[in-house]
Structure 1
Amino acid sequence: VSRAALALYRAHRPDKPVVAVIYTHSHIDHYGGVRGVIDEAEVKAGKVTVIAPAGFMEAIAGENVLAGPPMARRAQFQFGTLLPRGARGQIDAGLGKSVARGTPGLIAPTMSIARPVETHLIDGLEIVFQLAPETEAPAEMHMFYPELGVLNMAENACPLLHNFIPLRGAVARDPRIWAKYIADAIAMYAPRAEVLIGQHHWPTWGRAAVLDRLETQRDLYKHIHDQTLRYMNKGWRPAEIAEVVELPPGLAERWSVRGYYGTVSHNVKAVYQRYLSWYDGNPCMLHPLPPAPAARKFVEYMGGAEAVIARAKADFARGEFRWVAQVMKEVVYAEPANVAARALCADALEQMGYQAESATWRNAFLYGAQELRHGVFKMPARGTISADTLAGLSTDIFFDLLAVRLDPAKAAGQAMVINWHFTDRDERLALTLSRCTLSHRPGERSDAAASITTTRATLDAVILGRTKIADALASGAIRIDGDGARLAALFGMLDQPSGLMFDVLTPGEGR
């Protein structure tokens, strides 16, 4: 996709070489197309510079690797990628019409912006970089081009209400800090900015319009943050606060802050989560039954599924779609094969989707309805991490990835220490299995049962399923000193990719 975009640009503009790529932040739609723009060989030869904010690679690992499978599955609901296109299906993704197709890539940065503000001359053009971490992304930055009067706010000042937590899931973002970095950009750059650009929307032209956009975005995020805290400090709960917080005059009538992507409702809940966690303070909610057993009890107490469905149909006729979806969820979790309950829940979700202004809410509601009616699409099991992303991980994060795949039942009673030497990175680490938990430290341990010499590229290939341990041992790509059985034993304790299409709308018991 990025290669096609560059070709379209060059069809109408001079065909000049790319000498630098700037990753504004650590989300895959802002770095995944890099291989369509540059060749890694040119980067290694020093002909192309890849620039990113500090913490970029670590942020990628946290958001796209360790929790990659559930995040990718939830993204199907957020973006509606498996919905049919059209008036009854997917029509938008909030920040654009849809997500990009193609294979995502990654080339590691060669230059990191580490100070709060840095100025660099890139191909003769002065660029002022302003770090804005923990805003829309864990690692993000703004750029100002003094010679051009252009301010690039990355994804921190889009002409809409953004997410404090996207529906795909993420660590809760900090709207207070977000507003602060916008305010800093106003103070530093707005008096000289003639054009405001970002990576998802059209430019804003004119100094007055740029200032207005930035001030509006600053106040938008700060208002939702402050009003949520105001109600929290009065003892209100997340869902209660979400019902009453509204945008004030001066914001409410502005098209550029509408909830086409994020919403006031779920952003309020994100603020609550950031400060007070998932727990609302009521001890009755501290240790509830899991969803499916609780649903069976609820339905039994309410007189059985038929009685609940009959009452829900009457509420549906009155347009109480939120409640119908909520109560039918309990019936579906109690009786996943109940066709009438699934159909009524789907009907309610569908109506909520048609009424939603937020594209991501619409997609989630309509995709939920689709899965209730037709079931989960059958797709082959595959990993959610690309070869480029895996190769870009630090070895520290790589071993964390192994650790979250460890099955305690298979590791029970086992203990071992394995020294690793990665010759292509000149790294040595000691991996310890103890009490059904994997941990690692730099350096080697004298009590290791085995010492393994290999390359990260070889181990990456094993994780991706492109080579087998036995073949790597036979070829000499992996060498083991000590107890050679320990490596196979370790990998035998790890979960294999189980597939992306796990249940969301139904209990998924026994998955």
Structure 2
Amino acid sequence: MREPIYKSRRVGPAAAEFDQNCGRVNDFIVMSEGNSNVYLIETPEGGILLNTGMGFEAPVHRHNLAKFSDVPFRYVITTQGHVDHLGGVQYFRDLHPGLTYIAQAGNAEHQAYDARLQTFRSARSAFRFQDEFKEVFKRYAQAGYTQINPQDQPTPDVTFEDRHEFSLGGLDVVLIAVPGAETNDSLVVWLPQHRIVFTGNLFGCPFGHFPNLVTIRGDRYRDALTCAAAAQVVMDLKPELLVYGHHEPVVGAEVIEAELTAYRDAIHHVHDGVVNGMNTGKDLATLQNEISLPAACEVGQGYGKLIWSIRAIWENYAGWFKHESTTELYAVPQREVHADLIELAGGADALIARAQAKSDAGEYEKALHLLDIVLNAEPQNAAARALTITVHETLLESAKTEHVTGNFWLVGWLQNRIKHLKSGTAG
């Protein structure tokens, strides 16, 4: 009987820290954990660096790797073009002249896409990372690291479309493109002599969880079937060690196959449920409430959530128009009539009382709909704000334990929302 691995693994990412969460994976691989893990593969002819962290993390990763290895770096490979993978490339290039940077051919497009929306996405991500990063930088300063290394936007020296192979110091290295499952330049690194695969965050941030088909920080949709196909690519390699983008490796061919099978089948189950529902005329909310995972393909929901991914699949196929209201086709949002609703209700107190009743009955989402009406029209309404805080605190307690691990993004959103509601800066 399979015991889903997500129940025993950590969930959220954390920035690299000096002398913490680093060490040897085996006799020729060193790991330094961070916003995305950095790995050093040692050979007699030099090292291969996999990912480089955010720019500000690069000196920390260098310090941590140097505790275990002093080999010169010959290559750097990024498993995807996200900023937490390639931000330190130039830092390591400066340390190791002649370092060759290899990436999948979609790297330039993805970096351009990220750069285009940097301001927007940084603001959207701040609710989850801003406070934590402030504390990280304090600890860096205490360790004497005050001249923060900048974020790089590197240009690869070598790119490839489908497959790229090379050898270094007797070690065969195979790079296999799996574009679209995480980014358009995603790849896996396969060491066939040792049956070791490095996947980066190909299956989402934490291993063993349903993929984030769209992130609440703001991103383009990921196609569900592409994500499932990526799992099959890795399964077909039959790895005995899967070295992941976050936290410790996954050990054992049987465990890896079982987990990737569950992941693949969970995606197909949800995807097919959405498609069948669309074809039989069911609306999105109905599908979000109906579709669940069977025990055979149970995976966690610590980063992506089923209800979010069901919506992502729906909208990836059908777009934003739900055919529910003509107002969807125009530019006046519902909040523009919230003051009218309060006036028709005879004042905000009636809506707040109804929201309290919904909350008392455990209908917290319905309570928030009513409270949003009040706060959109009267942002400083003390009674509405107090009840909204209470509802958020209740949802937070549930979110922390939901599906064993809790959801990294939902917990962060609720915590941040409570903070701003209490300070009076959120309407």
TM-score band, normalised by the shorter chain? Answer: 0.7 to 0.9
1:148 to 182, 190, 194: 194
Aligned residues of 2:59 and 2:149 also touching (Cα < 8 A): no
Show the counterpart of 2:278.
232
1:33 to 88, 91, 105: 88
Structure 1 residues 349, 102: closer, same or farther in 2, change over 3 A?
farther
Q: Deviations over 1:434-471 (max 9, x none)?
A: xxxxxxxxxxxxxxxxxxxxxxxxxxxxxxxxxxxxxx
Unaligned runs of 5+ in 2: 1-56, 136-147, 400-405
Aligned residues of 1:128 and 1:143 also touching (Cα < 8 A): yes
State the alpha-carbon separation in 2 of the partners of residues 122 and 296 from structure 1: 68
Pairwise mapping of residues 459-470 of structure 1 onto structure 2 (< 5 A)? none
2:231 to 165, 176, 182: 182
1:334 to 377, 385, 390: 377
SS at match of 2:247: coil
2:416 to 339, 362, 367: 367
Residues 1:60 and 2:111 are matched in the alignment: yes
State the alpha-carbon separation in 2 of the partners of residues 26 and 235 from structure 1: 38
Aligned-pair distance for 1:341? 1.7
Which region of structure 1 is more displaced relative to structure 2, 49-58 or 64-73? 64-73
SS at match of 1:262: coil
State the alpha-carbon separation in 1 of the partners of residues 216 and 323 from structure 2: 24
Show the counterpart of 1:205.
251
Q: Based on CA coordinates, which of the two structures has the bigger radius of gyration? A: 1
SS at match of 1:82: helix
Residues 1:164 and 2:210 are matched in the alignment: no
2:65 to 3, 6, 9: 9
State the alpha-carbon separation in 2 of the partners of residues 85 and 2 from structure 1: 17
State the alpha-carbon separation in 2 of the partners of residues 298 and 278 from structure 1: 26
Structure 1 residues 128, 162: closer, same or farther in 2, change over 3 A?
same
State the alpha-carbon separation in 1 of the partners of residues 374 and 132 from structure 2: 25
SS at match of 2:126: helix
Aligned residues of 1:322 and 1:352 also touching (Cα < 8 A): no
Show the counterpart of 2:181.
135
Structure 1 residues 369, 83: closer, same or farther in 2, change over 3 A?
farther
Q: Deviations over 1:105-124 (max 9, x none)?
A: 2332111122x223222454
Q: Deviations over 1:349-383 (max 9, x none)?
A: 2221221121211111121121122144xxxxxxx
Aligned-pair distance for 1:265? 0.8
- Give the alignment's Cα RMSD to 1 decimal: 2.4
Show the counterpart of 1:386.
none
State the alpha-carbon separation in 2 of the partners of residues 297 and 132 from structure 1: 51
Normalising by the residue count of structure 2, what TM-score does the alignment of the two structures yield?
0.76
Q: Deviations over 1:485-511 (max 9, x none)?
A: xxxxxxxxxxxxxxxxxxxx54xxxxx
Aligned residues of 1:40 and 1:107 also touching (Cα < 8 A): no
Unaligned runs of 5+ in 1: 87-100, 377-504, 507-511
Normalising by the residue count of structure 1, what TM-score does the alignment of the two structures yield?
0.64
Q: Deviations over 1:89-110 (max 9, x none)?
A: xxxxxxxxxxxx9743233211
Aligned residues of 1:80 and 1:367 also touching (Cα < 8 A): no
Aligned-pair distance for 1:269? 0.5
Show the counterpart of 1:343.
386
State the alpha-carbon separation in 2 of the partners of residues 274 and 331 from structure 1: 33
Show the counterpart of 2:323.
281
SS at match of 1:21: strand
Aligned-pair distance for 1:213? 2.1
Q: How many residues are aligned here? A: 349
SS at match of 1:121: strand
Aligned residues of 1:117 and 1:131 also touching (Cα < 8 A): yes
Identity %: 24
Aligned-pair distance for 1:58? 1.3
State the alpha-carbon separation in 2 of the partners of residues 41 and 84 from structure 1: 25
Residues 1:354 and 2:397 are matched in the alignment: yes
